[in-house]
Structure 1
Amino acid sequence: MDRTQLRALLRDTDDIRSLATRAVRLLDAVQEEEPSVDPGAGAHCETPAGTVDILPPHSPEWPRDLYTRATVEHDHPGFAQLVRELVSVVVRIDALREPASRAGTGVLGRLFGLGRPDPAAENAATDLLFLLADTRTSWVVTAVRDVLSGAQRAADQQRRDGVRLNPGPGAPGDHCIEAARRAVIRGAGTGYGGVEFGRIEPAALSGARTAVDRVLRHPDSEPALRAEADEALAALGRRHTRELMEQLPPEALKRVTDDRLRFTGLAEAGITSVADVLDTPVDRLMAVNGIGRRTADRLLAAARTLESEAATTNPTLHIGADPVPEAVALTRVLSRYEQVAVLDETERSRRDRLISFFRELPVGPAPDGFDVIVRGSGALDQLLDDLRWAAAGPALLLPDHVTDPGSAAWDDYLSRPARYQALLADLLRLDTVTGEDPALLDAALIERIREVRLNRDFLRDLHLRGYQSYGARFAVVQRRIILGDEMGLGKTIQAIAVAAHLAAELAAGGGGPGHTAVVCPASVVVNWSRELGTFCTLEVFVAHGPDKRVAAAAWRERGGVLVCTYDGARTLDLGGPDVLIIDEAHMIKNPRAKRTIACSALAQASGTVMLLTGTPLENRVSEFVNLIRIVRPDLVTRGMAELEAEPFRRLIAPAYLRRNVIQVLDQLPERVDETEWVELTDNDQRFYRENVAEGSWMGMRRASWLTPAGEPAKLARLAEIIADARTAGRRVLVFSFFLDVLEIIAGAFGESVVGVIDGSVPPQRRQELVDAFGSAPGGSILLAQVLAGGQGLNIQAASVVVLAEPQVKPTLEDQAIARAYRMGQTGTVHVHRLIGTDTVDERMLEILAGKRGVFDSFARTSDAAEVSDAVDISEPELARQIIAEERRRLGLTDGEPARPAPETDTASEIRRS
């Protein structure tokens, strides 16, 4: 064999060895664990029915060798055996190649006899030649080349066209599509049946993308306004943080660092606050005697940490009461948003889904459309419907003209603070809590509630918060419920939304708007008529006063909404209203009371019943059961009042919905509660002791206000609170159970008192007093009897609330405070409870603490706890217990203990409220 032949032979062996290396590499890839792809790594759309994801064909998430391995597995199931045979050939080649390379003679050797052939080398070369010429070897080499060639074609197709999930023009073989689908299914982490595949054609995308782009480019679009509001709120937060830093002395930096900091000399250098530290350059800090570079750096670092901690711990979520530039800018944004917030919840959800979807979808032409990954039956249909809606309808278009009101927005905000705070929460998506509890309600019911679309035909200018919309839809689905939201969360407007929705349903059937009856205490009749007139276009009839029967007759004839008192529910002919709303429903907890009997009869005759009360449980669980019996007697079981809290809540869940302020109104201003321990004067103490000796329960409770000699200590403390409020420009709301206490306060503060609300004040006059209080200067005082002013009135103008004495029912205090601390409040609310030390006040606080535990366990949505029956104390029992304890404490136990004065001592106050 000559050298030319040998070189050709060796080249062939090298080619086979290279082929084997590539084949082994490909086999390793094929035998690796099958790939998985996260379907959510592309454009994602969350629909009510499930999710739709688009993983673009050229997404980096797709494994580069997906088609290659799929093709090898499908077309060459025996590839592993081929590779093994080829490797065995290479092993034999490697054994022969080195000696064979010495075989053969060149031209000069043959001409001049200069070389002598090596027999061993010649034999090795001959064996190598026969090995490569062997039929089996040739077949194996050719077969492997074909596999590698097919794998390369598959890789080129994936690189050129991307990965497809559905067959069609230009798609790869079914085996490649199936491999891609398997990768998605593994990445989805679900069984094969949990994922489906579909396709969106180009025509379905173009019109919708144009509509969404138009919205995103508009300066008054919701996304643009949200960005403006975010920045304005952040700027307002920075201002608040800065103001806090200005109030904190440098020594406050100790709490955020373990470093030893030196503060001596800072005050002399004019550095008197944390804000000053932040503003002072390092070289100026170092100029202070005793502060070097390291200490200066530590001071600045600690100041920045404290500033950051303040900003993140107490984020600004409300507009506030000060017209600083940032707050005014925020109200201007919200005023513009009010003009463009025209979509209902369903349409808004559609738009939000599409905006998010197109932001994630690759920009540029998609001539072939997109394959989609679907989880949830109907999810793709929902997305396609959204796309058609966006392309076909003008609902996404913004109004032609959006007016920026300028600084006038601030005045509008002050006149409608609740509206603006609702707009802020809505725009920034701060409403995240609905109150639904999957642990208590079955999934099918929750889904039915979510699917309800509230009809707004009879509503105007009513913007429901997210939790309010859920409450209204809960009532629409369940029909007979207790809405137990904490005071100040808008139970009234939720009920109005329900009445309007059901009236629209009746009107659509051709029978007119039907009949809605609102039963409420006389003190809130005016408030109900105002709210209905503001937010509802249904005709409103007020059946209160001398013409109440005429109003009731007109309502029966024409339909609409009738507002009447509990007395009216008992004496008027109301028939069977389509919708019955009973406000302050805890007033019908006694099943033997005439008004309870009348309201129960109305409820039985009505199709939809809403009981509104923030205090469904005041003393006993049995009271709560009585209310449940009115709306859903089928839920009441024998011994229900003795159940523990958790099974009780589970039992009533289909008929009871409650949300608490702390859950849903994170953007409310701060509420500061202070227990004011008032040390009685000598005169106060003597007068108090006299009342204890007489066993006068009511006398003991008000003794610290009615001292006949000298100024009572509580009055002196109240004067200090009012003086502070006047300085700060705040208005003061004072509650007491006792009329004579309110008279003492009114006499002491003269013209500063706007008025007194008690049971004798007609509803219209009550509202006039509240309106006057709202425009009164700082330091003005509104006095209210807790039973009269603690229900139904909205008194957000007050930011200081004073409770003259503790109440027998803690819920009375909650109701009173909620008159001021509610939606629409713009400033921090300071609550002062005046407690006389070593008096009945202190004893009541101790004993009644357990009553709140009863309510929290059974009536709130918080986790339940065991409740002892011992805290369920009636007022006479409470009076006897406290009088006995006070007599013992004061050494008045000799002889027969005095009996408490009869309950008729409070008859006049109770009647007048």
Structure 2
Amino acid sequence: MTTSQRTDGGVHRPSRAVLKLVRALSHRAAELERAPQELRRAAREQITALVRAEATARVRGLPAEELKPFVGRSIRLGTLINAGFPTIGSIEATPRHQLTMIPKVGAQTVDDVLRAAAEYRERLIRNSDVRFDPDHRTPGHTRLLGFLLAIRGADAAVAGLHDQVARFRERSAPLLAKAAPTASALWRWTLPFRPTTRNEARAALVELALLAGESDTLKLADAIGKAERAIDPGAFDPALSWQLYLRDAASVNALLSTLGASDAQEDVARGHLGPELRRKIDAVPLDVGLLKPTLTLRQYQVFGAQYAIHQERVILGDEMGLGKTVQALAVIAHLAAQGQSRFMVICPASVQVNWLNEIDKHSRLRAFSLYGNDRESNTRLWLREGGIAVTTFTTLGRLELTEQVKLSVLVVDEAHQVKNPQTRRAQEVVKVIDRAHRVLFLTGTPMENRVEEFRNLVHHLDPARAALIDPADLLHGAKTFRRQVAPVYLRRNQEDVLKELRDKIEVEDWVRLTPADERAYREAVATGNMMEMRRVLLTSQDSAKLQRLSEIIEEAVEDGRKVIVFSFFLEALSILHRRLGDLAIGPLVGKVSPQRRQAMVDELTDRRGPAVLLSQITTGSLGLNVQAASVVVIADPQWTAGAEDQAIARAHRMGQAHAVQVHRLLAKGSIDERIREVVEEKVLLFNEFARKSDAKSSDARAVDSAFHRPEVLDDPAVPLDHRMIIAERYRLGLA
């Protein structure tokens, strides 16, 4: 038998196998591409079912009185309640005809009450969100978790295989069309008078056979097979699913947030900006092609990036833990995709390594460290190739090669550190601002002490707008202040946008001084040394604070929780480290390198069972993500609410899977009481001017001072710390 005879007579048998193989692979690739959307649809159905089930269960147990706002005054709801139906569930569970038999309860009353119950339930459903609780793992939540993990796998697989699938489809599609007739046993007779077409079909079939056997095709088939297993929600073991969630709760919850955002959430995500500005910002088509598919931007983060791109020079003042870093990366990635090439991040040295890690983890952009021994060589490389230069406030003034470089985007992290325009740090940053097309200040605490500080930050970005702001407005000008800074200041708070974030339980743990405390404290007050007065409360021979701290840690260990302890004083951390032994990690202090700081956080995260990270508050409160800890202890009160909030936000942030317990250790009859008084006044100032942004109610709250001090102690001509020492001396009879 000749080759042509074999080809003509038996070609349909091998052709069927080749065509089937190539078509099947094409079909599987198409199914994989559709998987993210199909999985999202299924996940939304699961979310709806969970929310409805939870709302129904909640409504059933509520008192029937809750329905009063939903029924008219003429409806005899009280009669139903007194007849033995105290809850909504008890009313709904009773047949309608039995309810109508109750004296003075007619059919209209029953119908209106049942309608009100249904309306109440639907309203509750509309305003409800799904939360994962690792301590209460229901089958429904476990199933939803499987869908979310499958979606993440599908997104990553589709993005990772996009180029391979495109090449395979480009080659196989025309060949499949030409070779399709050869699969039929009658193909020789269906094309009897078109030998050219028959030859093309044979040739296409041969090419398909070769394509099917190529190593790239075999690798693609293997990769699709692995992806298919990874995107099956039922393939995830429940225990493994929860383990994966605890390891990366932030990205899982970010994905969840994109599946069920309500109109109210969308409004908050946009900071309740005016409709005209909102429309302009929404019209910015954010290009995230240079961000990795493993990063899911939440809705408010997308808007934050759009806001920064459109407004060009802004303060992103989102509360700590809301992902300001990834919003800045989204801005840079968008502009890089548009062909812009040079970007710079200025940050404290303590978070410089974190920035480099985040850029590598979440983007396809190249980062250059303009810090340390390789600063000059990396600077030349960055100038030649473009990318993101990451430097520090202290290094900035020594970057001579960059003095004339124009920047597409300048990001200043922890921007409150340039609030004083008289400092060299602020002056160096201003020089770079003048060479940047867009500037993005990142800070969760834009105003720590005075409104003037906030105004200074605005001045760096927009001097004309800052000139319109009168710091003397104080609380009475809060509404005006927020309106004036709205075009340059956007802030969202955790409770507004992180619906899944577990509660933060804050406790002030007041202790009474022991005799040893009192002796050490009186001696410190007599010296007039403020730092010594604060320090001895933690380091005396029988410190009441350390006793209480030991109890808190002991309780946390019994519950299997991890703890982070913040203190300003190195001696106190050293004492704690000796007491805790192997349970302790750290201490994380200023002299520890940024790499070692991250290693300490990683050790806390990776430890099985309880552990305690000890950190100096001035070092560990910036740039670190410590979601592994769910107990936070502030061992000594700080002078600003922002300092404590920064520290707490290391744990209570996006990705935290547990409720966070915050303990503030405070000593009665000590300087701690005076510090808390000062901080409470500063909290009021921050809430009115900075926290609200344009995302809260527009009316400034009236605030009455709660201070009752002798006139000499309120004399602004006397430095505050001196007045506080004088107050303590008077109180202790040492004046």
* TM-score normalised over the length of structure 2: 0.71
Structure 1 residue 789 displacement after superposition: 0.4
Structure 1 residue 490 displacement after superposition: 0.5
One-letter code aligned to 2:439:
V
Query: 2:668 matched to which residue of 1?
Result: 837
CA 1:687–1:400: 2 relative to 1, 3 Å: closer
| More off after superposition, 591-600 vs 854-863 | 854-863
Query: 2:38 matched to which residue of 1?
Result: 220
Equivalent residue runs for 1:259-274 within 5 Å: none
Q: Which runs of 5+ in 1 are unaligned?
A: 1-214, 244-256, 262-273, 279-304, 345-398, 508-512, 894-913
Show CA shifts across 1:522-573 (max 9, x none).
Answer: 1111111111111110111112211111111111110011111112222113
Show CA shifts across 1:785-826 (max 9, x none).
Answer: 111100111000000000001101110000000000000000
Show CA shifts across 1:185-242 (max 9, x none).
Answer: xxxxxxxxxxxxxxxxxxxxxxxxxxxxxx9999934332211134356678999999
Looking at structure 2, the residues matched to 325 and 774 of structure 1 have their Cα atoms a distance apart, in angstroms, of: 25
Query: 1:531 matched to which residue of 2?
Result: 358
Asked whether the equivalents of residues 268 and 496 of structure 2 are also in contact (C-alpha less than 8 Å), the reply is no
Asked whether the equivalents of residues 55 and 124 of structure 2 are also in contact (C-alpha less than 8 Å), the reply is no
Corresponding pairs, count: 562
One-letter code aligned to 1:456:
V
Matched position secondary structure for 2:289: coil
Structure 1 residue 259 displacement after superposition: 8.5
Show CA shifts across 1:24-82 (max 9, x none).
Answer: xxxxxxxxxxxxxxxxxxxxxxxxxxxxxxxxxxxxxxxxxxxxxxxxxxxxxxxxxxx
**1:436 counterpart = 2:270:** yes
One-letter code aligned to 1:823:
M
Looking at structure 2, the residues matched to 781 and 661 of structure 1 have their Cα atoms a distance apart, in angstroms, of: 25
Show CA shifts across 1:744-773 (max 9, x none).
Answer: 211221111011111111111110000000
One-letter code aligned to 1:785:
Q
CA 1:727–1:880: 2 relative to 1, 3 Å: same
* TM-score normalised over the length of structure 1: 0.57
Structure 1 residue 639 displacement after superposition: 6.1
Asked whether the equivalents of residues 229 and 333 of structure 1 are also in contact (C-alpha less than 8 Å), the reply is no
Query: 2:134 matched to which residue of 1?
Result: 321
Query: 1:597 matched to which residue of 2?
Result: 427
**1:679 counterpart = 2:512:** yes
**1:416 counterpart = 2:252:** no
Looking at structure 2, the residues matched to 536 and 875 of structure 1 have their Cα atoms a distance apart, in angstroms, of: 52
Asked whether the equivalents of residues 725 and 778 of structure 1 are also in contact (C-alpha less than 8 Å), the reply is no
**Residue among 546, 550, 555 paired with 1:719:** 550
Asked whether the equivalents of residues 587 and 614 of structure 2 are also in contact (C-alpha less than 8 Å), the reply is yes
One-letter code aligned to 2:650:
R
Equivalent residue runs for 1:745-760 within 5 Å: 745-760=576-591
One-letter code aligned to 1:223:
R
One-letter code aligned to 2:406:
G
Which has more radius of gyration? 1
Matched position secondary structure for 1:220: helix
Structure 1 residue 719 displacement after superposition: 0.8
Query: 2:171 matched to which residue of 1?
Result: none
**Residue among 681, 688, 700 paired with 1:864:** 700
**1:744 counterpart = 2:575:** yes
Query: 2:734 matched to which residue of 1?
Result: 892
Query: 1:558 matched to which residue of 2?
Result: 385
Matched position secondary structure for 2:487: helix
Query: 2:145 matched to which residue of 1?
Result: 331
CA 1:783–1:854: 2 relative to 1, 3 Å: same
Show CA shifts across 1:836-857 (max 9, x none).
Answer: 0111111211232110111111
One-letter code aligned to 1:886:
E
Matched position secondary structure for 2:720: helix
One-letter code aligned to 2:580:
F
**Residue among 294, 303, 312 paired with 1:470:** 303
Query: 1:853 matched to which residue of 2?
Result: 684
Structure 1 residue 601 displacement after superposition: 0.8
One-letter code aligned to 2:728:
E
Asked whether the equivalents of residues 529 and 540 of structure 1 are also in contact (C-alpha less than 8 Å), the reply is yes
Matched position secondary structure for 2:669: coil
Query: 2:538 matched to which residue of 1?
Result: 705
CA 1:237–1:794: 2 relative to 1, 3 Å: farther
Matched position secondary structure for 2:407: coil
Looking at structure 2, the residues matched to 754 and 875 of structure 1 have their Cα atoms a distance apart, in angstroms, of: 44
Matched position secondary structure for 1:541: strand
Equivalent residue runs for 1:19-418 within 5 Å: 220-232=38-50, 317-322=130-135, 324-326=137-139, 327-339=141-153, 402-404=231-233, 405-407=235-237, 408-418=240-250
| More off after superposition, 215-224 vs 557-566 | 215-224
Looking at structure 2, the residues matched to 799 and 514 of structure 1 have their Cα atoms a distance apart, in angstroms, of: 40
Q: Which runs of 5+ in 2 are unaligned?
A: 1-32, 62-79, 91-116, 160-226, 708-713
Looking at structure 1, the residues matched to 255 and 653 of structure 2 have their Cα atoms a distance apart, in angstroms, of: 15
Matched position secondary structure for 1:427: coil
**Residue among 527, 544, 547 paired with 2:374:** 547
- C-alpha RMSD of the superposition: 3.6
Structure 1 residue 686 displacement after superposition: 1.3
**Residue among 401, 407, 411 paired with 1:577:** 407
Looking at structure 2, the residues matched to 751 and 437 of structure 1 have their Cα atoms a distance apart, in angstroms, of: 46
Query: 2:606 matched to which residue of 1?
Result: 775
Asked whether the equivalents of residues 675 and 833 of structure 1 are also in contact (C-alpha less than 8 Å), the reply is yes
Query: 1:78 matched to which residue of 2?
Result: none
Query: 1:822 matched to which residue of 2?
Result: 653
**1:650 counterpart = 2:483:** yes
Asked whether the equivalents of residues 478 and 654 of structure 1 are also in contact (C-alpha less than 8 Å), the reply is yes
Looking at structure 2, the residues matched to 722 and 448 of structure 1 have their Cα atoms a distance apart, in angstroms, of: 51
| More off after superposition, 403-412 vs 576-585 | 403-412
Looking at structure 2, the residues matched to 680 and 456 of structure 1 have their Cα atoms a distance apart, in angstroms, of: 56
Matched position secondary structure for 1:615: coil
CA 1:759–1:236: 2 relative to 1, 3 Å: farther
Looking at structure 2, the residues matched to 501 and 874 of structure 1 have their Cα atoms a distance apart, in angstroms, of: 49
Matched position secondary structure for 2:261: coil
Q: Report the identity percentage.
A: 39
Looking at structure 2, the residues matched to 219 and 453 of structure 1 have their Cα atoms a distance apart, in angstroms, of: 21
Looking at structure 2, the residues matched to 600 and 873 of structure 1 have their Cα atoms a distance apart, in angstroms, of: 35
Structure 1 residue 886 displacement after superposition: 1.1
Looking at structure 1, the residues matched to 48 and 734 of structure 2 have their Cα atoms a distance apart, in angstroms, of: 65
Asked whether the equivalents of residues 542 and 564 of structure 1 are also in contact (C-alpha less than 8 Å), the reply is yes
Looking at structure 1, the residues matched to 395 and 37 of structure 2 have their Cα atoms a distance apart, in angstroms, of: 53
Looking at structure 2, the residues matched to 874 and 785 of structure 1 have their Cα atoms a distance apart, in angstroms, of: 31
Asked whether the equivalents of residues 723 and 779 of structure 1 are also in contact (C-alpha less than 8 Å), the reply is no
Asked whether the equivalents of residues 645 and 866 of structure 1 are also in contact (C-alpha less than 8 Å), the reply is no
